[in-house]
Homo-oligomer: A and B are copies of this chain.
Amino acid sequence: MNKQPTGPGEIGWQARKSAATRDQIISAAIRCIVDLSYSKTTMIKISEKAGLSRGATLHHFPSKMDIIRAAVEYLHEKRIQAFRRSIREIPDGADMAHLAVEAYSAHLNHPIYIALFELSVAARTDNELKEILHTAQLAFDREWYETAWDLFPEWHSDRKAFDLALNLSQQLMEGMAISNFTHARQIDKKQLLTYLEEKVRELKP
């Protein structure tokens, strides 16, 4: 990779390569989860996608669960980052309801969400995974709620209405995202989202 000798005082010795392959492994694991499902994600498949041998992968992560653990951390970090970015980009004075709905809608079709959903479903019947997810999930939920609260100061006069609007949006949109593959019948998403935006505006104090 980088053949320059470690400069004086430089922290990074070439464990940067190690960090880089670690990231490769985590990224490969997430792609496996999205493409193959959690249960079909094996060390072999991860190694193949990462372009490494099994031994190399096992050198960085002693067991499969260690990879999953790292992947969950990575996913939640990225998810919060993406959430913050998407709402920071909303211009002042814009149609907040519409843009916020749009933003969360886009998020729900992103691989990050799909991977986390796949893991959440698998966790229903896997206690070890459930425990790994629980901490990160709790942190995300709190972060999500507080970021939204800060973002919409005009709701501060009515916390109940705020909770209702937030929950309504979240639950409905997640239901819609998931129904993509739990239902054969195609629904009119646009109609539903427009209606949702309307109701959110109505709820605003």
Whether the Cβ atoms of B179 and A37 lie closer than 8 Å is: no
Whether the Cβ atoms of A164 and B191 lie closer than 8 Å is: yes
Whether the Cβ atoms of A138 and B175 lie closer than 8 Å is: no
Q: How large is the interface on A (under 10, 10 to 19, 20 to 34, 35 or more residues)?
A: 35 or more
Q: For A59, what are the chain B residues with a Cβ–Cβ distance below 8 Å?
A: none
Q: Point out residues on A near B: beta carbons under 8 Å.
A: 35-37, 39-40, 116-118, 120-126, 134, 137-138, 141-142, 145, 160, 163-164, 167-168, 170-176, 178-179, 181-185, 187-188, 191-192, 195, 199
New A-B pairs, 13, CB < 8 Å, besides A37-B125, A174-B178: A37-B126, A118-B121, A123-B181, A137-B184, A138-B184, A141-B184, A145-B185, A164-B188, A167-B187, A172-B172, A174-B182, A175-B175, A175-B176
